[in-house]
Amino acid sequence: RVALSPGKYRITVTRGIEYSHLRQEIEVGIGQTPTVEGTLRRLVDSSGWVSTDYHNHSTPSGDNTCGTDDRIINLAAEHIEFAPTTEHNRLYDWTPHIA
């Protein structure tokens, strides 16, 4: 769940380049809890391949625009299966942020 102030929003749901995306416009009234539903279709069969992103910064790096926990959630949501950290002049381990 995400808390939203009243207003109009364009919601985009993705799961990486192997899947379609979902886009909906919603209007949130005071005290309302809207629901966004849909199906993301798999467009690319990547069996036998690993989805990777080789350029990921943790929060301490200074180059990350979100918290480290949020970065991990984003990588999982985008179906990234291998994502080493790429830090400036330091080593960083995602392990403490993964449940």
Are 34 and 55 within one domain?
no
What's this model's pTM, rounded to 2 decimal places? 0.68
Are 99 and 71 within one domain?
yes
- Which single residue is written with the structure tokens 């069996």? 47
Helices (H), the chain: 68-77
Are 63 and 33 within one domain?
no
Are 3 and 39 within one domain?
yes
- Domain residues for the domain of 31 are 1-44
| 12 Cβ neighbours under 8 A, 6+ residues apart | 21, 22, 23
Are 10 and 29 within one domain?
yes
Are 32 and 60 within one domain?
no
pLDDT tens per residue, range 45-91: 999 999 999 888 777 777 777 888 888 998 999 989 999 888 777 78
pLDDT tens per residue, range 12-29: 999 988 999 999 999 999
Are 59 and 37 within one domain?
no
